Structure 1
Amino acid sequence: MPHNNPPPSGYHYPLWHGWRLLLKDLALPEAHVLRRAQLPSDLFSRESASLSTAQYFQLWTALEAESDAAGAPEPLPIRIARAMSADWFEPALFAALCSADLNAALARIARYKRLVAPMALQLDISPQGTRLGLSWLDQSQRPPAVLVAFDLVFFVQLARMATRANITPAAVVCPAPQPALAPYEAFFACAVSEGPQPSLTFTPEDAQRPFLTVNHGMWQFFEPTLRKRLHDLDRQSSTAERVRSALLEALPAGDLSMEAVCRKLGVSTRTLQRRLREEGSSFQATLNGVRTQLAHHYLENSALSGAEISFLLGFEDPNSFVRAFQAWTGKTPQAMRKRSSSPAQLWAFAPKQKAPGET
């Protein structure tokens, strides 16, 4: 699994130069899209334009709204997939198409995706298949559903483009059902399941199917620039930000020890503690901050149970999560979710009561 340090706070992502071509292919007026997104009208003509995470999300939300207003017959992510072309010269798309197969393509995108979008990819390649999980570098901001759907559609369409085969994922998971699920299930040719993290799973045969677009020479020419940009970005990141990224990556596996994070970052525990202290932080404070931010996100933006949130945050049991949340915020998870949840959902956050005689 590639390691992804988060971009520094306030990082702006370079504007993809293919936006104008995409809007032309979709027959959507760029002026209307930019106005809906509350972005400068000359954004797409600027030499070195960039977007914050919030602006990036605004642009996708506006793009979907404009597509819907135009009476598009299909959901926007599927429309974009059908229009996908190497002519767009999107870095992630180009890097992937040069690869030998889907496993190599996903590994490259996972390494470099954070240069162009506020996203991290978790890649798990095993004899049973290849699973790609999607997460967001800024957990305080909820990505629009259209963007989540597009990224799932993108990777399937990428595999189909590069192999010229009708690749069907073995499993598709989305945090919440799309308003119109049938078109997506028809596109994927499989059912879409609901789960806490968006993900795709491919069979070993499809993940290793040779790409007809493989071009090792072009990749060797293209990669040094990407590698330098990644190095420059990592140098801007503080130690606390790098620890935060390592913790976000480790949370699902549950190994949140300082020793495990130090192995990921390639430093000793003493060096890590010193650098965090110089930044006015500590390992435990950073871990608590990550858990607090994610807990707020899950409570406010999902219907996950207490047990599910406890697992996602790396706690051994839901009671530990409830106690920790009260220590961080002075409130219970029930109180945080009270306004947006029904009484039937709230019981899941209450500490488990022991039965008479239970120890």
Structure 2
Amino acid sequence: MNGRRSSTLEYSVWPGWRLLMQDAGVTAPPVLRRAQLPGDLFARRSVRLNSADFFRLWEAIEAEAQSLQPTIPTPLQIARVMSSDWFDPELFAALCSAHMRGAMERLATYIRLIAPMAIRMVRNDKHTTITLDFLTASQPPPAVFLIFKMVLFVQLARLATRTQINPLQISWPLPDDFEKDSGLYAAFFGTPVTHSAVTTLVLDNADMDRPFLTENHKMWLFFEPDLRQRLSDLDRTCGMLERVRSALLESLPAGEVSMQAVGRKLGVSTRTLQRRLQGEGTSFQQILDTLRESLAYHYLRNTAMSSAEISFLLGFEDANSFARAFQSWTGKTPGAVRHELAVGNAQDVASASRTPD
């Protein structure tokens, strides 16, 4: 099981990265030396790195870029040279779409080819909220990678529409040293960046539906079968536990948490789903409860969301259902746990501020 599980915790590195870095003034050799990775990494085909190596690569890119241009954040350095001729499967699949809504739907479908991430979209009458979550919550990615994804999505919309599209809201877990760059990011996005536990982008529906001038349906029909095949290959090599967990992360806010709904999403019968999970030493309900409990702690610890808001994100019918389930997992109410976490954080801050006699 461990061998199959590890395959889902990998990130793709595309040869096009070398061109983009070069255009941004960052050459590959010193980056790869910093990251302690093979010198020919960007020349290889279908490179996938584990989380630790991939995050170290991004930290090396940032360190090298900052050594050359310390006054400009690395994601913005890359954004300035990003163009539609940079061949990256993620960018290409999106640019061929009819509009930003279609682009994000495609990215949500194929994002696991790039990284163990999940993209969710919630649309109301006026705007669309896009959130980016990671399937490896125990090892969060470096801030530069999260920020780059938000910069990429906004730059994608601008490139494809040739319009200065600005988010209505943009937020992510702000690093401690963000203040020095906050003005530059506000200028890029056209709105101040705020803190949130979950990386979030909010766009006006008019911008989500604005036609892409780069739409190319024929090219997409040529390109898509290979993406579908690679996604199928990835599914075959990863365990059912991770496939179910990934499907649930996407489906929880919509309340689609039944085994039947997940089975349909994965293209397997409930009987097959039960049998394969049993073979991996778990069950559907165990995965669902463990995921909900982990996310609940995450939201209670890192956000000010109400129990009603958390219950919605976890796919419960109401806040009371969430509270009962949470108490069955932990023996405590969500309010009690949030209070304990707040007290613990306050004690940590007080302890850190004390100086020895």
User: How do residues 106-125 of structure 1 correspond to structure 2 at under 5 angstroms?
Assistant: 106-125=104-123
User: How do residues 257-268 of structure 1 correspond to structure 2 at under 5 angstroms?
Assistant: 257-268=258-269
Query: How far has the Cα of 1:181 moved from its partner?
Result: 1.4
Do 1:95 and 1:108's aligned partners in 2 also have CA atoms closer than 8 Å?
yes
Return closer, same or farther for 1:285/1:200 CA change in 2, 3 Å cut-off: same
Q: Match of 1:240, as an amino acid?
A: L
Q: Which residue of 1 aligns with 2:346?
A: 342
Q: Match of 1:9, as an amino acid?
A: R
Query: CA-to-partner distance for each residue in 1:200-235, whole Å, 9 max, x for gaps?
Result: 122122111111111112111111111111122122
Query: CA-to-partner distance for each residue in 1:40-67, whole Å, 9 max, x for gaps?
Result: 2232233443211222221111111122
Q: Match of 2:326, as an amino acid?
A: F
Matched, 1:321 2:326: yes
- 1 CA distance for matches of 2:297 and 2:38? 32
Using structure 1 for the length normalisation, give the TM-score: 0.81
Query: CA-to-partner distance for each residue in 1:76-111, whole Å, 9 max, x for gaps?
Result: 111111110223200111111112111111111211
Q: Which runs of 5+ in 1 are unaligned?
A: 1-6, 346-359
Do 1:140 and 1:297's aligned partners in 2 also have CA atoms closer than 8 Å?
no
Q: Match of 2:346, as an amino acid?
A: S
Mean Cα displacement is larger for which, 174-183 or 218-227? Answer: 174-183
For 2:52, which of 54, 67, 89 is the aligned residue? 54
- 2 CA distance for matches of 1:306 and 1:212? 39
- 1 CA distance for matches of 2:188 and 2:304? 30
Query: CA-to-partner distance for each residue in 1:267-293, whole Å, 9 max, x for gaps?
Result: 454443233223321122222332455
- 1 CA distance for matches of 2:232 and 2:46? 20
Query: How far has the Cα of 1:143 moved from its partner?
Result: 0.9
- 1 CA distance for matches of 2:287 and 2:56? 29
Q: Which residue of 1 aligns with 2:33?
A: 35
Do 2:128 and 2:203's aligned partners in 1 also have CA atoms closer than 8 Å?
yes
- 1 CA distance for matches of 2:72 and 2:130? 25
Q: Which residue of 2 aligns with 1:10?
A: 6
CA RMSD of aligned residues (A): 3.2
Give me the identity figure in percent. 48
Q: Which residue of 1 aligns with 2:251?
A: 250
Instruction: Give the secondary structure class of the aligned counterpart of 1:121.
Output: strand
Mean Cα displacement is larger for which, 252-261 or 56-65? Answer: 252-261
Q: Match of 1:118, as an amino acid?
A: P
Using structure 2 for the length normalisation, give the TM-score: 0.81
Mean Cα displacement is larger for which, 172-181 or 290-299? Answer: 290-299
Query: CA-to-partner distance for each residue in 1:147-185, whole Å, 9 max, x for gaps?
Result: 111111111111111111111112212233634211111
Mean Cα displacement is larger for which, 209-218 or 8-17? Answer: 8-17
Return closer, same or farther for 1:36/1:314 CA change in 2, 3 Å cut-off: farther
- 1 CA distance for matches of 2:198 and 2:225? 32
Q: Match of 1:282, as an amino acid?
A: S
- 1 CA distance for matches of 2:328 and 2:346? 22
Do 1:113 and 1:120's aligned partners in 2 also have CA atoms closer than 8 Å?
yes
User: How do residues 58-137 of structure 1 correspond to structure 2 at under 5 angstroms?
Assistant: 58-137=56-135
Do 1:173 and 1:194's aligned partners in 2 also have CA atoms closer than 8 Å?
yes
Q: Which runs of 5+ in 2 are unaligned?
A: 350-357
- 1 CA distance for matches of 2:347 and 2:241? 38
- 2 CA distance for matches of 1:335 and 1:211? 49
Q: Match of 2:210, as an amino acid?
A: R
Instruction: Give the secondary structure class of the aligned counterpart of 1:209.
Output: coil
Q: Match of 1:153, as an amino acid?
A: V
Q: Kindly indicate which of the two structures has a greater share of residues assigned to helix.
A: 2
Query: How far has the Cα of 1:306 moved from its partner?
Result: 8.9
Instruction: Give the secondary structure class of the aligned counterpart of 2:163.
Output: coil
Do 1:121 and 1:134's aligned partners in 2 also have CA atoms closer than 8 Å?
yes
Q: Which residue of 2 aligns with 1:237?
A: 238
- 2 CA distance for matches of 1:38 and 1:298? 35
- 2 CA distance for matches of 1:207 and 1:296? 32
Q: Which residue of 1 aligns with 2:352?
A: none
Return closer, same or farther for 1:295/1:201 CA change in 2, 3 Å cut-off: closer
- 2 CA distance for matches of 1:205 and 1:153? 19
Do 1:322 and 1:333's aligned partners in 2 also have CA atoms closer than 8 Å?
no
Query: CA-to-partner distance for each residue in 1:101-140, whole Å, 9 max, x for gaps?
Result: 1111111121112112232211234442332211112222
- 1 CA distance for matches of 2:327 and 2:310? 8
Q: Which residue of 2 aligns with 1:351?
A: none
Q: Match of 2:174, as an amino acid?
A: A
Aligned length: 333
- 2 CA distance for matches of 1:33 and 1:337? 40
Return closer, same or farther for 1:47/1:255 CA change in 2, 3 Å cut-off: closer
Query: How far has the Cα of 1:310 moved from its partner?
Result: 5.7
Query: How far has the Cα of 1:307 moved from its partner?
Result: 5.5
